Structure 1
Amino acid sequence: MNLLHADFEAALTEVYPRLRRFAYGLTSQAADADDLVQRACERAMRKSDRFEPGTRFDSWMFRLTRNLWIDTVRASSRRASREIDAEAGKSVGYDPRPATEAAIDLSTALEAMGHLPEEQREVVALILIDGMGYRETAELLDLPIGTVSSRLVRGRKALMELLGEKDDD
């Protein structure tokens, strides 16, 4: 079933700012983020018949954007995988968003995010910037929740170091 044009436009208008922030978190460049979001919107328009009624439009758009980013990165180079096992990731404890948001300026953090490895950058963008939960992020990225947790912890620690903040774990 296709989304009606007006429904599609309204849904896209609503999710666009969040999608743009997510793309910026992935690319760390405003122009690259704009290009990525534009390509995601074009793909969504072409494939609107694949949207499952009753599912979340924003999750579908985030997944399209992420998949396009992965395609872009793969085309330019292969990345090294730096993960701890899922069991170790499950032992991660608290939600660092309030402390992180209170301690740093968002524009400085976004700039510093450009120095993170891609897999940490996308988890940090979804959880710390967009406010998604761990489970929702794990489902969106098709990862075990322990992997999401470990990437978030490593990304947060790296951001804190880049920003010159003391990490009080």
Structure 2
Amino acid sequence: MRLSPKPDLIEHLPRLRRYARALTGDVVRADDLVQDTLERALARLDLWQPGSDLRAWLFTLMHNLFVNQLRTRRPQDTALDEALDIPVSGGQMEALAARDMHAALVRLPDEQREVILLVGLEQFSYAEAAQVLGVPVGTIMSRLARARERMRHMLAGAPAVQLKVVK
């Protein structure tokens, strides 16, 4: 009996940490989410299909853990901390733009933030993002369009677009 080689989870740590930080808005919670993700990945490594995209599988695990944590969190814990620890020095304008971008990003609904992070930051294809989030590709495309539009309005200082419910 020949054992298949274990995948290298360590090479995915920087991207997992970046995505977790963007999801949670907090370094400590992000590190906890990454640790929980890696623990689950190691415990369920036999469920990963060798030859399939390990990165997408890890991001799917992280997304599911994050959603589960949101569901079980007490109401007072759900507010994202918008305080940034981006130093303003040397490149003040870039730091201010990054701060504004982060502040707008954390104000997006979770569904839109996840899509914009996966497609925009992590360079997932629409199909890969759909697989990670467990939704159709069309849903990814519409969430991304709404997220981009909302970000444009927030960064321009305009109020977010409020959609009316038509019956």
TM above 0.5, yes or no, is yes
Q: Which has the higher helix share?
A: 1
- Indicate if the aligned counterparts of 1:36 and 1:65 stay in contact, CA closer than 8 A: yes
Whole-angstrom CA distance in 2 between matches of 1:20 and 1:26: 10
Unaligned ranges ≥5, structure 1: 79-103
Q: Which structure would you say has the larger Rg?
A: 2
The one-letter amino acid paired with 2:131 is: E
Asked if structure 1 preserves the Cα contact closer than 8 Å seen for 2:37 and 2:65, the reply is yes
RMSD value over aligned CA atoms?
A: 2.5
Q: Which moved more, 1:153-162 or 1:126-135?
A: 153-162
Shift of 1:105: 4.5
Code of the residue aligned with 1:136 in structure 2: it is E
Percent identity of paired positions between Structure 1 and Structure 2? 36
Q: Relative contact order: is structure 1 or structure 2 higher (C-alpha 8 Å, sep ≥ 6)?
A: 1
- 1:15 maps to a residue whose letter is H
CA distance in 2, matches of 1:132, 1:18: 12
- TM-superposed CA distance for 1:67, in Å, is 0.6
User: Could you say what secondary structure the match of 1:52 adopts?
Assistant: coil
Structure 2 unmatched runs, 5+: 76-95, 159-167
Counterpart residue number, 1:116? 108
Number of equivalenced pairs = 137
* Runs of 4+ with >4 A deviation: 1-4, 104-107
Once the two structures are superposed, residues 58-99 of structure 1 have per-residue CA deviations (whole angstroms, 9 ceiling, x without a partner) of: 111001101100101111279xxxxxxxxxxxxxxxxxxxxx
Matched, 1:146 2:146: no
Residue deviations 1:4-46, cap 9 Å, x none? 4xx44xx222111111122122212222211111110111111
Given candidates 38, 62, 70, the residue that maps to 2:35 is 38
In the superposition, the TM-score normalised over structure 2's length comes to 0.72
User: Do the aligned partners of residues 132 and 42 (structure 1) sit closer, same or farther apart at CA in structure 2, a change above 3 Å counting?
Assistant: same
Q: TM-score, normalised by structure 1?
A: 0.71
